Amino acid sequence: MLFVSGRRDELHPRHMEDAGRYRHKVFIDHLGWPLHSSNGIELDEFDGGEAIYISSYDENNQVNGVARLLPTTVPYLLEKVFPTLWESAEFPHDVKIWELSRFAAVDFISGTSFSHQASAKHASNFFRRVVGVAKKFGMCSLITVSPIGMERLLRLNEFDSTRTGNPAVHGGKLIVSLLIHC
């Protein structure tokens, strides 16, 4: 398994393209989210120079996991797109708290159903890798907006996480905001 991480200007353009195509396949094709896409590559306004990207590749050199880490010192997804999910008085704007977004660890080749992969071994291992990258960059906590199944992945792997608000339906799926301690 190959893991690649870094900021956009540190990564080979192929890695960014691979991640964008994978994100399109997961979030637009399979989850049906109404996201912007160009030429089969999903990117949004939060894919800036500050973001840190993590991708995993299988033995066939196919992407089977992606994640994006955004500092909360710049505009981020939870604050700008899903503010009703955060029930605290103020949103975090702290160099040690980053947002985890566009996390996916789906193996399209394995034949395992899409809905059962959230708790799969690869998803757990990939999440551990993401947390390792977060720690390397000095992050103490991650916040995220995720399908409710992310809570199950975190609980099964004994990560310390807390809901930061009530779940809501988005695109026909139940989503929740979480604070994850690294």
pTM attached to this predicted model:
0.91
Pick out the chain residues at pLDDT < 50: 113-119
- Residue 22: φ, ψ to 5°: -65, -45
pLDDT at 53: 98
pLDDT at 69: 98
Distance CA 73, CA 135 (A): 17
The pLDDT tens digits for 51-68 are 999 999 999 999 999 999
pLDDT at 119: 44
CATH of domain 2-181: 3.40.630.30
Q: Residue 29 pairs with which residues in a beta bridge?
A: none
Distance CA 92, CA 71 (A): 10
Residues 6 or more apart whose CB falls under 8 angstroms from that of 105 comprise 56, 64, 65, 117, 120, 122, 123, 126, 127
Q: How far is CA 111 from CA 28, 63, 116, 153, 155, in A?
A: 20, 15, 11, 20, 25
The pLDDT tens digits for 105-136 are 987 776 554 444 444 678 889 999 999 999 99
Domain boundaries, the chain: 2-181
